[in-house]
Structure 1
Amino acid sequence: MTLTIRVATVQDLPRLQEIMNAAIGQLQADFLDPAQVESSRAVMGLDRQLIEDATYFVAEIDGQIAGCGGWSRRATLYGGDHSAGLREPRLLDPSSEAARVRAMYTDPAFVRRGIGRALLAHCEAAARAEGFAACELMGTAAGEPLYAIAGYTVLERIEDARGGAPVPLARMRKELVTA
């Protein structure tokens, strides 16, 4: 198994959407009821701004896309292009604000192979290289254990019900160690 990470392109969008849909539908099912899983689709997903900013990545195993995730220098904390009311495109100040880790998804066929950890580490390194001293993210119930193991701590818990049913989320933060 050879894992590689590269910048996502517009051509990757159809496969990334498939992975996101599968991950939301299958990986959240152990944590949310069916109405919450469906509701989460309204507040999760791909923000094409990340691809435009070249801060979104795909993880490939032997040439097959197995996961995706990114980071952002913009203020939007979570949500996809379709997520109402979440867009905040202003640029963050690395000297006083945390970079955002965004839209982390693993193809359910590839879970427990280190893909999420590799993407998360890649995003943190890229944010650190641009001068950010911390990262924040909005973690799902399925993603929170990975983020906790990676050193993120919960700042607040919210429920986002814009999709109909309340979806529990955790805003988390990690201070980045400078090399």
Structure 2
Amino acid sequence: MSKDTRFSHRIATEADAPAIVALMKASIAENMKGFLTAEEIAAAQETMGLDTTLLEDGTYFVIETEQGGATVMAGCGGWGKRKTLYGGNHTKGRDDSYSNPAKDAARIRAMYTHPDWTRRGVGSLLIELGENAAREAGFKTIELGSTVPGEPLYRARGYEEVSRETQVAANGHVNTIILMRKAL
């Protein structure tokens, strides 16, 4: 691929959900391999997936580019104005109440890059879009729940670790969630 790849972005819609889920599955299956074992990837999948409140709130982005004359989805991700830190619709412990920008942090949420488009700035673009939108909504701080594979990107973008949580998944393997924070 050319260094000159151009990406566009738009707000995701409910009609995008099947393509988003397919991109998430491809991203999880391939992009985590260099960091986690197959069993740890399966454990992580228990908390990963589509959170439709992000679509409903209009805070989820699709990153697209042209490939072979067709528009393809290169990545997806966004920000949350609700208290849920991470996970999909199925994730236990959700709190879908709205955050108060005066005292709560916004959230960077559900970031995925298609394996064909890694290391081309898709993740950084998603973070920038989410941070800018959260800032415009009045938030002063932003947080995220990172996987181990996502941690290097977030550190490079100025996020600092607050804490680590480990959960034992149904398969008996550990899933690590890293709470990270950044001032806006």
TM exceeding 0.5: yes
Q: Separation in 2 of the partners of 1:154 and 1:46?
A: 24
Whether the aligned pair in 2 keeps the contact of 1:55 and 1:70 (CA below 8 Å) is yes
Match of 2:178 in 1: 170
Give the residue type in structure 2 aligned to 1:144. E
Which among 55, 69, 76 is matched to residue 59 of structure 2?
55
After alignment, is 47-56 or 1-10 more displaced? 1-10
**Alignment of structure 1 residues 1-179 onto 2, 5 Å:** 1-62=5-66, 63-83=71-91, 85-164=92-171, 165-176=173-184
CA displacement, residues 33-86 of structure 1 (integer Å, 9 cap, x when unaligned): 111111111111110010000000100112311000011110000010111x23
- 2:154 is paired with a residue whose SS is helix
Give the residue type in structure 1 aligned to 2:140. A
Whether the aligned pair in 2 keeps the contact of 1:44 and 1:80 (CA below 8 Å) is yes
- CA 163–57 in structure 1, closer or farther in 2 if over 3 Å, else same: farther
Q: Separation in 2 of the partners of 1:48 and 1:8?
A: 10
- 2:131 is paired with a residue whose SS is helix
- 1:5 is paired with a residue whose SS is strand
CA displacement, residues 101-129 of structure 1 (integer Å, 9 cap, x when unaligned): 10000001100000000010000000000
Stretches of structure 2 that go unaligned for 5 or more consecutive residues are: none
CA shift at 1:29, angstroms? Answer: 1.4
- The alignment's TM-score, normalised by the length of structure 2, stands at 0.92
Structure 1 residue runs of 4+, over 3 Å off?
A: none
CA shift at 1:163, angstroms? Answer: 4.0
- CA 105–39 in structure 1, closer or farther in 2 if over 3 Å, else same: same
- The alignment's TM-score, normalised by the length of structure 1, stands at 0.95
Alignment: residue pair count: 175
CA displacement, residues 117-163 of structure 1 (integer Å, 9 cap, x when unaligned): 00100000000000000100001111111100000000001112244
- Percent identical among aligned pairs is 41
CA shift at 1:19, angstroms? Answer: 0.9
After alignment, is 103-112 or 8-17 more displaced? 8-17
- 2:35 is paired with a residue whose SS is coil
Q: Separation in 1 of the partners of 2:101 and 2:56?
A: 20
Stretches of structure 1 that go unaligned for 5 or more consecutive residues are: none
Whether the aligned pair in 2 keeps the contact of 1:40 and 1:163 (CA below 8 Å) is no
